[in-house]
Amino acid sequence: MAEIIEIKDFYAPELDVYARITEGQLLNRHEPEKGMFIAESPRVIERALDAGYRPVSFLVERRFLEEQAGELMRRCPDIPVYTADFDVLTQLTGFQLTRGMLCAMHRKPLPSVKEICADARRIAVLENVVNPTNVGAIMRSAAALNVDGVLLTRACSNPLYRRAIRVSMGTVFQIPWTILPEETGWPHPGLEFLRAFGFRTAALALCEDSLSIDDPALRKEDKLALILGTEGDGLAAATIAGCDYTVKIPMAHGVDSLNVAAASAVAFWQLCGPARQSYKDVRIW
């Protein structure tokens, strides 16, 4: 059984990962092999363990030691478990723990772009999406709606930031993703790199000459990369100009656009799943 350690010293170095090291420092860009992340809640931690991530330690609210954390602790009997009451942990971390449990984990090496693209039919590319909530929500939709992999430009928020992991409900551990390396370049030669793998590229953008997202030509593409842009400004003009298609989601009631996470869910549902019925044939009971 795991060793249960009562927290008595807020400044114990083993608690730095939860209390004093920023997420940017945990990421450790200069030595990524030493990088870590924080997974929050039993379900998310379970998905990370199932995906092969190695835990460093657990931080558990005392009342959850048996009920929700027990099974995870039994899976990791050699991993230390630090515990205290709710108020103490909130003071230590600066936020309220979701379902009473955090886990510090080692990062794994990211797959290459080639590994993501090789056997994929539908991928998503995120261009400079900086909000971790949006990144987490997009990853969750991608996993749920049959996207084969996700590529992120280097300016995107990292999918293993605590907030992104939490919003994704741990699906960041279930769908292949990677960050485009500097040498790939974006949008060029990145777009050409995708074409070398047989992908046609579709920029989601509100342009007058855009195709509607339900245009049959899009679903007929054997391999399609959906390009989603940053919050507010959307995709760069050079990205739109370099794509094979420009695609829009028709709007009603004078609304000009959707949040990027909401737009991704619509696009994935329409273009990445099995063939859809036409809307006129769908009955709602």
Residue 31 has a pLDDT of 85
Sorted by sequence, the CB contacts under 8 Å of residue 93 that are 6+ apart come out as: 18, 19, 59, 102
Residue 276 has pLDDT above 80, yes or no: no
If one compares 223 and 29, the residue with the highest pLDDT of the two is 223
Q: Tell me the C-alpha distance between 27 and 36, whole Å.
A: 6
Q: Tell me the C-alpha distance between 108 and 100, whole Å.
A: 25
Burial of 80 (0-12, 13-18, 19+ CB in 10 A): middle
Residue 33 has a pLDDT of 81
Q: Residue 162: which of 253, 65, 97, 90 has the closest Cα?
A: 97
Residue 277 has a pLDDT of 43
pTM: 0.91
Residue 188 has a pLDDT of 95
Interval 158-175 mean pLDDT: 96
The amino acid sitting at 223 is K
pLDDT-derived band at 280 (thresholds 50, 70, 90) equals very low
Dihedral angle, C-alpha 18, 24, 28, 34, nearest 10 °:
20
